[in-house]
A and B are shown apart, each in its own frame.
Chain A
Amino acid sequence: MTILRRTVRATAMTGALLAALAATPATAADFGFPVLVPVTGFLSLEGTSQRNGAVLALRKAPAGIGVRSTVIDTGTSPETAVTALDRAAGGGDPVLAVAASMLGTQMLAMLPLAKEYGVPLVTVSGTASITEQGNPWVFRFFPGDAVTKAAHARYVVEELGKRRPAVIHQTTAYGQSGQAHLKAEFERLGVRPVFEEGVDASAKDLLPVITKALAAEPDVLVLHLHSAPTALFIRQAAAHGVTLPVVAGSAMHQPSTAALLDPAELKGVCAETAASPVSGGSPAVEAFTAEYRAAFGTEPDAFALGQYDGMRMVLDAVAGGARTPDAVRAALSAGRHEGLAMTYRSDGKGNMAHSAVIVCYDGRSRVPAIAKRYDDVTGVLK
């Protein structure tokens, strides 16, 4: 199936789902849950996963609750994101929570406005600083870098026994944040990377950085790149006979990233992530994956599952009697949610996810297996 057909199908399915949601007969309790995510621009793949996860969750409204939801593309600029939030929350209709962009700079821009409107933002953004602004209206259902990079570094050092990592990261906010946490975690583990370099997200040839990294004689390649650069790095490394193990960032676990590579090129490649729904693990996750495939014609990833879990927790709060944004905020702040990916609970700052997994590819399939699970990395869950 071509990308165009997939896109058309996914758009049609989303439209149908939203039409169904919009067609829900108006009831006394009819609430808005707008989905403000980037479905165009460099984060469109991840943003589409986020959208799909939110839309799938919102199909299952609690009995007696009418769900109104519109997907608004936030593109990649903070300005578009705040405009989208104004559009969704400033119209006078009651909005209980917003599925908000995974792009960190957009979240940082939306936070003050969310506070003014008093509406919870439910996101899967990994940018550390969004929960460090002292803003009580943000809830992150994806492990932040403090969790994932701890798992990332620990797997490299404790499981693979490597002591000379070469770290290649992106120069974006995502890349800088991840690199800082990786550096701190390696330092805590007593390991000093032999090579560190940032690469531009638009770089079309990563062979120079691969060559420079190999010249530093590392024993493992540690990546923290976006989806397309991750695939490019692994393909170019495989083409040049690099046999060092690669432990990549969460972009690698996405089925859309693996689809860019031959299974053989993936041999020896592992990645950190919050979850890997295509890897299975439980009947509930497998049911989610099947439902997602049927609805959108693509494979779900951790972003889709995280956003799904986040919106399910919101809807559970509504089912539990929360009828105002503040009540939803209170429920998210104090509650505990057994999601499909993990158990969620706020650390007091809005960080809901505290687990990460390492998945690895066997070189024969594009579906990875879970190699290691790290639970409660930040010590929040009791």
Chain B
Amino acid sequence: MRRGLGGGLPWAGLLYAAGAAALCLYALFGATPYGLRVLTVAGVYALAAIGFQIVFGLAGALSLAQGAFFGLGAYASGILSSQFGWDFAATLPAALAVPLLVALVVGLPVLRLESHYFALATLGIAQILLLAAVNLPALTGGANGLAGVPGVVLFGRTVPRGLPLAALVWGIVAVGGLLAWRLSVGRWGRALTLVRDDPMVAATLGLDVGRLRLGAFALSALFGGAAGALAVHTQRVVSPEVLEFPVMVTILTVAVVGGRGRVAGAVLGAVLLLHLPEWLRGLERGYLLVYGAALLLTIVLAPHGLTGLVERLLPARARPLPAPRPLPEPAAPHTEPLRVEGLRKAFGGVWAVDGVSLAVPRGAILGLIGPNGSGKTTLINLVSGLERADAGRVLVAGRYATALRADARARLGVARSFQAGALPAAATVLEAVAAARLERSRGVAEAEGQGMAVLHRLGIADHAATLCGGLPAGLRRRVELARALARQPAVLLLDEPAAGLTDAEKRELAAHLRALAGEGLGILLVEHDMGFLLPLATRVVVLDQGRTLYDGPPQGVRQDRRVVAAYLGEGGGA
């Protein structure tokens, strides 16, 4: 979870500001008409790449449709201005609306696809649009395109090329960049990075992954359309080249070289990559070789892009930690936070969960044990909504949740941890925990303040600024618990929370769980460590081959012959 531009980066910020000032001085006093054109085109690609940073950098979706949105904007503005004489003030909204509409229509089905299929599907969109542009000559001018596109005519006055046009383009880049930056560092941007890092975790924290992705896709289309509209009035012709793959490759390269997910990266990458070929143009064919080598070198030396390199050389000053803010008063606990009835799930021909029923009353800790492959984690996935049940019912706080997605179940009151740690390595402990409050808070500051309150409660506030990637196992488990608790759930599903902990850490964890149960929280606890679980649990369910083998008090587990035979063995378990 990387922060957006400026998050505690005074030196880097100063460097970017100095670069922007130098660019302004160059445009005002040093640039020839040619220099201003290259700068203008760089601005156009910066705008397109800023949009791409939102969908690719923040949301983590490799959309190859950004070039198509660019082309759609170009065609919309080019056709309306050259064929109907529309003013740029009217063609620009059209150039935003057309790609937006396409993004919303195609986004719904394609955003459900896995990453590589999504990339191919979005590439397909671009190919279809390209074919349409070539084969609808009455509308698009066919392969030749449409000549006679005017320059930017704004409210009846032509914006002259050179400095005025460059100023207009970069003014729009500045507005767009500021908007994107505000979004990226805000609640929405944080939520998107969570979706990028782990969509399943994001869903279990109450975030509507589909809506977030669709929003990012649509916003990227707006930026692409605006860039295309500016491009077409800069080059004064609209032809199928604006829909071809090289446009997409340029945008992708700008984003990667500049620094993924960064507005500053888009600007820096565009300025560099649009100027570099011009500096090398005199080498004729040789320039491609030098250009390629320069790109390769940049990526090798700065794998996180140029902005990543800047931040490595000028590391961020530690941000002051926010003061803890009280979480809102939770609703009165339901008498039965969780009930599962006849739940079944098959993978292929194997029943992973076969008719399991259980209930977690208010303030209870229900232990769920069984041999590996018995269906414990599948059951937790079915309850939290990450898997769809083939049969049976799930009730959360008395409400049917069987048909709900994971994010909706989270909003009903289900929170969970994962067997394998699921904390984003690049996020701080505070950011990871505050992520659980994004859906319920009014902003990042409030979410972080509430996150701090949870960290204090679990005694790990001193680690708030530590990156999750470097946490020892015990601390990771506690951070995961803190993140789940930050949801203020009705029921907590914990998947092997004591794995890898020392005895002292286990005792501390057990104390926390008892205290939570004492406050009325229902806990479903999957654990192999019988020494940890049995004294803690108020009731135990044992699964074997997806079926309930035992359901009763903890004291009866070691006496049940079937449990001993199937799971504990004659030694009696750990």
Contacts and interface: CB of A to CB of B under 8 A. Distances in A.
A72 B144 contact: no
A282 interface: no
Given A73-B287, A172-B143, A175-B143, A84 B237 contact: no
Interface string A161-179: 0000000000111111100
B237 A73 contact: no
B284 A11 contact: yes
A70 B284 CA distance: 10
Query: What is the interface of chain A mostly: helix, strand, loop, or mixed?
Result: helix
Nearest to B150: A112
Counting chain B CB atoms within 10 Å of each CB, the highest count among A76, A111, A133, A173 belongs to: A173
B84 interface: no
Contacts, number: 101
B147 A72 contact: no
Contact of A176 (B143, B235, B287): B143
B34 A83 contact: yes
A173 B143 contact: yes
Contacts of B137: 176
Query: What is the interface of chain B mostly: helix, strand, loop, or mixed?
Result: helix
Counting chain B CB atoms within 10 Å of each CB, the highest count among A44, A108, A111, A173 belongs to: A108
Nearest to A134: B148
Contacts of A40: 285, 288
B147 A133 contact: yes
B237 A105 contact: yes
B246 interface: yes
Nearest to A130: B147
Interface in A304-357: none
Nearest to A177: B144
A205 interface: no
B237 A109 contact: yes
B465 interface: no
A227 interface: no
Given A73-B287, A127-B144, A171-B134, A78 B282 contact: no
Given A73-B285, A83-B34, A83-B37, A173 B142 contact: yes
Contacts of B286: 11
Contacts of A108: 144-145, 147, 237, 239
Contacts of A79: 41, 231, 234-235, 241
A77 B287 contact: no
Given A7-B285, A39-B284, A90-B33, A176 B236 contact: no
Interface residues of A, number: 39
B278 interface: yes
Contacts of B37: 82-83, 86, 90
A104 interface: yes
B83 interface: no
Contacts of B282: 70-72
Contact of B235 (A44, A78, A177): A78
Counting chain B CB atoms within 10 Å of each CB, the highest count among A86, A127, A172 belongs to: A86
Interface string A79-115: 1001110110011100000000000110011011100
B281 interface: yes
A82 B33 contact: no
B372 interface: no
Contacts of A7: 285
B212 interface: no
Contacts of A44: 285
Interface in B520-569: none
A241 to B, nearest CB: 33
Contacts of B145: 78, 105, 108, 173
A11 B137 CA distance: 39
B38 A83 contact: yes
B279 to A, nearest CB: 11
A173 B241 CA distance: 11
A14 interface: yes
Given A108-B147, A175-B143, A176-B142, A78 B284 contact: no
A129 interface: yes
A77 B144 contact: no
A243 to B, nearest CB: 32
Given A79-B235, A105-B239, A87 B34 contact: yes
B502 interface: no
A91 B32 contact: yes
A87 B282 CA distance: 11
A77 B246 contact: yes
A86 B148 CA distance: 18
Nearest to A84: B281
Interface in A139-188: 171-177
A105 B32 CA distance: 25
A109 B78 CA distance: 13
Contact of A105 (B33, B38, B241, B278): B241
Contacts of B278: 83, 87
B42 to A, nearest CB: 11
B236 A82 contact: yes
Interface in B268-300: 278, 281-282, 284-288
Contacts of A84: 281
Contacts of B240: 105
Contacts of B147: 108-109, 111, 129, 133
A-B complex: 3 closest residue pairs judged by Cβ atoms: A90-B33, A173-B143, A87-B34
Interface of B: 32-34, 37-38, 41, 134-135, 137, 142-145, 147-148, 231, 234-237, 239-241, 246, 278, 281-282, 284-288
Given A82-B37, A83-B278, A105-B145, 18 more contacts: A7-B285, A70-B282, A71-B284, A73-B285, A79-B231, A82-B235, A86-B37, A87-B281, A104-B144, A105-B143, A105-B239, A105-B240, A108-B239, A109-B235, A129-B144, A173-B145, A176-B137, A176-B144
25 contacts: A7-B285, A11-B286, A44-B285, A71-B282, A71-B284, A73-B284, A73-B285, A76-B246, A77-B241, A78-B239, A79-B234, A82-B37, A83-B278, A87-B278, A90-B37, A108-B145, A108-B147, A109-B147, A109-B239, A112-B236, A129-B147, A173-B143, A173-B144, A173-B239, A176-B143
